[in-house]
Amino acid sequence: MNFTLRFFSLSPRYLPVAALLAVLLGLSFATRIVLWMHGGTQVPVTLTNLLEIFAIGFAFDLAAAAYFMVPMTLYLAVIPDRLACWRPHSWFFGLLFGATCYVLALVSLSEWVFWDEFGTRFNFIAVDYLVYTHEVLGNIWESYPVGLLLGLLLIPALLASWLTRRAVARGLAAPSSWQQRLRGGLILLVLPLLVFRFVSTDQKDLSENTQVNELSGNGIYAFFAANWNNELDYERFYATLPHGTAFAQVCGLLAEHPGVKVCSDSPKTLIRHVASNPPVRKLNVVLVSVESLGSEFIGALGNTERITPELDGLADKSLFFTHVYATGNRTVRGLEALSLSIPPTPGQSILKRPKNEELFSLGAVLEDEGYDTKWIYGGYSYFDNMGYFFANNDYQVVDRSALGKEEIHYENIWGVADEDLFTLSLREADKSAADGRPFFLHIMTTSNHRPYTYPEGRIDIPSGSGRAGAVKYTDYAIGRFLREARAKPWFDDTLFVITADHGASARGTTDIPVERYRIPLWFYSPKHVKPQHFDRLASQIDIPTTILGLLGVDYDSKFFGYDLLRLDPAQDRAFVSTYQTLGYIRNGWLVTLGPKRAVKVRRIEADAPPLSPTDETKLREEAISLYEVAAQEFRSGLYHETPDRLPPRKEDSAHSDRHVN
């Protein structure tokens, strides 16, 4: 700090930079306090936590400041003395300084909004949201009193400008030679280069409590770090095994039931034959992925608020899965699991990545079986690149643009009310049935999303009053949809699959709060599926393969998912993840893989059997193998639709009409 004071006394031209530094540090400190006080934050007040949050936090605030000061430093370095002290310029600079303070205050408010939704500092989700400003800003406008909040931000901006006015004025008025300005500017501009070289966002992650680590960070720094690191190369950042070893282990793990299994070793691709037991049943399939429907909302899974009467009634009429885990905490991650049956890979979901066309998908398998395959969404499908992904992976995309104004009872920034989405879905099903073709509809809802608004008069909870009302409205819409479907001639030969894209919140005190990833799953077809409860561990990526198993489809597969109804209980496992932490659940234990090749193992069930050193090594290697091979299969282009390297089999001639071509 003494060096800083001495520097600014020798180079007074840069006193406005020091003033802005003080504003940024002050607002960052205040933001850290407010986020700690948020109702969803679970951080005990201890000396260790205080030191980490505020000491490390101060260091990251300085790192953010090193980048944030660059524009002002460059400006002050080039402006000559006679212009710097010119009165109109002083007024202009003061206005610019005040606007910058306002922007910093707005960033602090934005951090609170983001924390309120996700329980973290800015991450790559915030970077993504800049692309979709219409939906995101619309959501904020509908969820918060934006006009009032923007007006209130003038208070800290004006206060900061007034408190720093003398330092700013002195800096502009101080005489300086171009040599002094150049020397001072170069010193300040070296700082962000040093930060870039020696500081990384994971240096704050010293605590077992994730929210302590998040509070220790800085939102501005985290935002730009996320922009830089929104895709993570698995082999560069994560623990690996020799690829042949990993591949062989995955091939063994995917042999979940007796039958022909083939993995091609050159190149190493997971093509294998999945032989069906039941006869092929060309049942229609309606897969409903419900926005944010965590298991904690379901009465049949323990909720006591009675907000899901329709789904609770369905639990005893369905094949009801009680321990399914979503692969991630974003819609695109859930859609990836439900369409591609692949473990999550670090960074962006595959839906957002380049070269995500013509992949091996559930839509591709069913299209080759003669199905009309459609993805139906209540919003505009360009959001999160969803429409592009599904249109290029054997689905016909149908979104809110297919509805006329007279067909929409209610809409908010995310999409039409779920009842209107289901009306559209029934219409699309009728079209396929009229053409004499079986259909596969993957329907993605939106109503259970902030601002939690829906048509009035449907349920006994007012629109916009919170998550419970949105869940109950979605439950109402699903019940209405099923009642209307029962009147259709195609109902008896239709399999309805209802699940969630992800849970409602992934807040927690550990790297991955596992229970927040638990989601419900119903398989409902009164004529074809016997009601029962399935209480074993399952993963979201197992849903596509279990659907194909119930249909009796014979196919050549690259999927990582299991057919749960033919699976040995000893092979139960699940995948969970954040954008950079990858989790593997098995036998009551969780393995987490993180950057810098970090591998951790912890018990998540009190009655989980203890692990011997050999068992722990085996568990670690399973997790590493599955994630390593999944990342490699996608990155190398081997997860594409056409399995053209599968060796010939004797039974090909008998089943050639049902294989993927």
The answer to whether the CB of 307 falls within 8 A of the CB of 472 is: yes
List 324's β-bridge partners, or say none: 519, 538
The answer to whether the CB of 495 falls within 8 A of the CB of 525 is: yes
Q: What share of the chain is helix, strand, coil (3-state, %, to 5)?
A: 50, 15, 35
- What's the rounded Cα separation, in Å, for the pair 353 and 346? 12
**What does the pLDDT look like over 124-147, one tens digit per residue?**
667 666 655 666 777 788 888 988
- What's the rounded Cα separation, in Å, for the pair 320 and 243? 38
* Centroid of chain to Cα 229: 15
**Confidence band of 500 (pLDDT split at 50, 70, 90):** very high
Q: For residue 440, which of 545, 366, 332 has the smallest C-alpha distance?
A: 366
Question: Residue 147 phi/psi, 5° resolution?
Answer: -60, -45
* pLDDT higher than 80, residue 36: yes
DSSP string, 76-132: HHHS-HHHHT-HHHHHHHHHHHHHHHHHHHHHHHHHHHHHHHHSSSS-HHHHHHTTT
pLDDT at 616: 97
What separation in angstroms does the CA of 11 have from each of 128, 183, 362, 504?
40, 9, 65, 52
CB atoms within 10 A of CB 90: 15
* pLDDT higher than 80, residue 54: yes
pLDDT at 11: 72
Q: Which two structure tokens, joined as six digits, stand for 101? A: 């303070």
- What's the rounded Cα separation, in Å, for the pair 237 and 346? 10
- What's the rounded Cα separation, in Å, for the pair 305 and 477? 18
* pLDDT higher than 60, residue 43: yes
**What does the pLDDT look like over 264-300, one tens digit per residue?**
776 777 888 888 777 778 999 999 999 999 999 999 9
- What's the rounded Cα separation, in Å, for the pair 436 and 480? 25
Least confident of 301-315, 509-523, 525-539: 509-523
Instruction: State the sign of the Cα–Cα–Cα–Cα dihedral 630, 632, 635, 637.
Output: negative
pLDDT at 229: 60
Matching residue, tokens 């430093």: 73
Matching residue, tokens 């980490």: 52
pLDDT at 645: 43
> What residue segments make up the domains of the chain, in order of their start?
2-228, 237-658
Give the single-character DSSP code of 379: S
Question: Residue 332 phi/psi, 5° resolution?
Answer: -65, -30
* pLDDT higher than 50, residue 660: no
* Fold type of domain 237-658: Alkaline Phosphatase, subunit A (3.40.720)
Helix/strand/coil for 361: coil
DSSP string, 267-289: TEE--EEE--SSPP---EEEEEE
**Confidence band of 2 (pLDDT split at 50, 70, 90):** low
pLDDT at 657: 32
Please state, for a pLDDT cut of 90, what percent of the chain lies above it: 66
pLDDT at 595: 82
Which residues, other chains included, contact 314 with Cβ-Cβ below 8 Å and sequence gap of 6+?
320, 482, 498, 522, 524
The answer to whether the CB of 498 falls within 8 A of the CB of 288 is: yes
Mean local confidence (pLDDT), 174-201:
86
* pLDDT higher than 60, residue 539: yes
pLDDT at 10: 53
- What's the rounded Cα separation, in Å, for the pair 267 and 244? 11
* pLDDT higher than 60, residue 591: yes
Phi-psi region of 200 (alpha: psi -120 to 50; beta: other; left: phi over 0): beta
Orientation angle between helical segments 87-118 and 15-37, nearest 10 degrees: 20
- What's the rounded Cα separation, in Å, for the pair 345 and 559? 14
Give the single-character DSSP code of 359: B
Please state, rounded to an integer, the average pLDDT across all residues of the chain. Answer: 89
The answer to whether the CB of 20 falls within 8 A of the CB of 97 is: yes
Orientation angle between helical segments 331-340 and 542-551, nearest 10 degrees: 40
Question: Residue 642 phi/psi, 5° resolution?
Answer: -85, 110
The answer to whether the CB of 50 falls within 8 A of the CB of 32 is: no
Question: Beta strands 439-444 and 284-290: pairing type?
Answer: parallel
In one-letter notation, the amino acid at residue 472 is K
Mean local confidence (pLDDT), 512-528:
96
Helix/strand/coil for 56: helix
pLDDT at 41: 85
The answer to whether the CB of 43 falls within 8 A of the CB of 211 is: yes
* pLDDT higher than 50, residue 648: no
Q: For residue 291, which of 185, 447, 140 has the smallest C-alpha distance?
A: 447
pLDDT at 134: 65
CB atoms within 10 A of CB 450: 21
Helix/strand/coil for 481: helix
pLDDT at 139: 74
Which residues, other chains included, contact 364 with Cβ-Cβ below 8 Å and sequence gap of 6+?
358, 393, 394, 641, 660
Give the single-character DSSP code of 261: -
Residue of higher predicted confidence among 261 and 243: 243
**Helix (H) / strand (E) containing 29:** helix 15-37
- What's the rounded Cα separation, in Å, for the pair 626 and 241? 10
pLDDT at 121: 85
Mean local confidence (pLDDT), 551-567:
93
- What's the rounded Cα separation, in Å, for the pair 590 and 623? 9
Q: For residue 387, which of 406, 404, 367, 402 has the smallest C-alpha distance?
A: 402
Mean local confidence (pLDDT), 423-436:
97
Cβ burial, residue 362 (10 Å; 0-12/13-18/19+)? buried
* Centroid of chain to Cα 454: 24
Phi-psi region of 261 (alpha: psi -120 to 50; beta: other; left: phi over 0): beta
What separation in angstroms does the CA of 127 have from each of 17, 213, 515?
27, 20, 27
Which residues, other chains included, contact 227 with Cβ-Cβ below 8 Å and sequence gap of 6+?
124, 127
pLDDT at 21: 94
* pLDDT higher than 70, residue 654: no
Matching residue, tokens 């559930």: 362
Mean local confidence (pLDDT), 3-17:
69
Mean local confidence (pLDDT), 490-495:
98
pTM: 0.79
Mean local confidence (pLDDT), 313-324:
97
- What's the rounded Cα separation, in Å, for the pair 37 and 254? 46
The answer to whether the CB of 385 falls within 8 A of the CB of 377 is: no
Please state, for a pLDDT cut of 70, what percent of the chain lies above it: 90
pLDDT at 651: 40
Residue of higher predicted confidence among 444 and 41: 444
The answer to whether the CB of 626 falls within 8 A of the CB of 560 is: yes
- What's the rounded Cα separation, in Å, for the pair 261 and 274? 7
The answer to whether the CB of 484 falls within 8 A of the CB of 478 is: no
